[in-house]
Structure 1
Amino acid sequence: MILLRKGKEEDIESIQDIAYRTWPHAYSNLITNEQIDYMLKKMYNKGELLSQLQQGYTFLMAEEDDRDLGFAVFSIIDSANHIFKLHKLYVLPETHGMGVGKLLINEVVNLAKRAGGVSLELNVNRENKAVAFYQGAGFTVKETVDLDIGNGFLMNDYVMHKPL
């Protein structure tokens, strides 16, 4: 049985491991290996993840038989308008199709609703097959953005939105 638990500092190495195992699978036909390496180092270094925990981001871990299968990270981004953002959702490639991502996204939705959220947003690469996953979870495209992330790299994303 897949269980969800709140992530904490002790989970950082597992989060990094899942990201480093998942990103090449998810993005190798969308962005260069150089951009994958740059983004992983920028977004998944211990200092950045610790900072997110300290800022109150909620980390959720999915596990089965004491093995971490995936994670999600979300936070409130606009407290005046009660808007939450899903920052990260990744599951190990060998677990795709097992419902891990669906469990994680449903729990993020439930927790954001309980915290008074009225909408949930996320960014996803426009060419990523995860767009269909998020549409199936009730998200729609709000806007198209090209974000400069430094080092000459852009993220070509959809901002997707789901009313809660």
Structure 2
Amino acid sequence: MEIKVCETEEQVRSLAELASEIWHEYFVSIISKEQIDYMVEKFQSYEALKKAIAEEHYTYFLGYDEGQLVGFCGVKPDGNRLFLSKLYLHEKSRGKGLSSILLRKAIEFAEKLDKKAIYLTCNKYNRNSLDIYKAKGFAAIDSVKTDIGNGFIMDDYIMQLDL
């Protein structure tokens, strides 16, 4: 997998398209289509990603396999930790170890910034992702319910990996 930092308008557009495709494929068994549509627009759209990069200090690492964008992760410094906001792979690219490569990039970035831990939020019903994060050394340190607007609540575990 080749990893690039998302920097160009074209990369942001490709990232938004991939995020929408992944969300509409993966999360249908966990949350409603209405919530998926809302969350994609609010957090994964071209406009939302541009704002996250320009104003919220996010860095997006794009993963390419044979020249094709197949996954990404988004991170943001938060005090002495790094927030891993997003880590997604296209369904055709799962099970090949590519998420480990993206996670390793996030860990290297955190270490470069001298962060003490990486943390993330993960839906309590997303058993597959929770199992993967636990296998990678993350532990649940809290659970939260977050009102994200439009009548939707995110019911998540906060998972942390100490570095």
Same fold (TM over 0.5): yes
2:29 aligned counterpart, secondary structure? coil
Q: How many residues align?
A: 160
User: Counterpart in 1 of 2:17?
Assistant: 17
With normalisation by structure 2, the TM-score equals 0.94
User: Counterpart in 2 of 1:76?
Assistant: 77
Offset of residue 45 of structure 1: 2.2
Query: Pairwise mapping of residues 135-154 of structure 1 onto structure 2 (< 5 A)?
Result: 135-154=134-153
**Does 1:87 pair with 2:88?**
no
1:116 aligned counterpart, secondary structure? coil
What one-letter code is carried by the residue in structure 1 that aligns with 2:88? Y
Identity of aligned residues (%): 27
What do residues 46-101 of structure 1 show as CA deviations (whole Å, max 9, x unaligned)? 222111111331110110221101000001111xxx11100111110111101111
1:110 aligned counterpart, secondary structure? helix
Segments of 5+ residues of structure 1 without an aligned counterpart are none
Offset of residue 159 of structure 1: 0.5
User: Counterpart in 2 of 1:133?
Assistant: 132
What one-letter code is carried by the residue in structure 2 that aligns with 1:83? R
Distance in 2, Cα, partners of 1:44 & 1:28: 16
User: Counterpart in 2 of 1:112?
Assistant: 110
Distance in 1, Cα, partners of 2:45 & 2:19: 11
With normalisation by structure 1, the TM-score equals 0.93
1:138 aligned counterpart, secondary structure? coil
Structure 1 residue ranges, 4+ long, deviating more than 2 angstroms after superposition: none
User: Contact 1:18–1:90 (CA<8 Å) still a contact in 2?
Assistant: no
Distance in 2, Cα, partners of 1:161 & 1:142: 7
1:24 aligned counterpart, secondary structure? helix
Aligned alpha-carbon RMSD (Å):
1.1
Segments of 5+ residues of structure 2 without an aligned counterpart are none
What one-letter code is carried by the residue in structure 1 that aligns with 2:135? G
Select between 18-27 and 94-103 the one with higher mean Cα deviation. 18-27
**Does 1:161 pair with 2:160?**
yes
Select between 16-25 and 151-160 the one with higher mean Cα deviation. 16-25
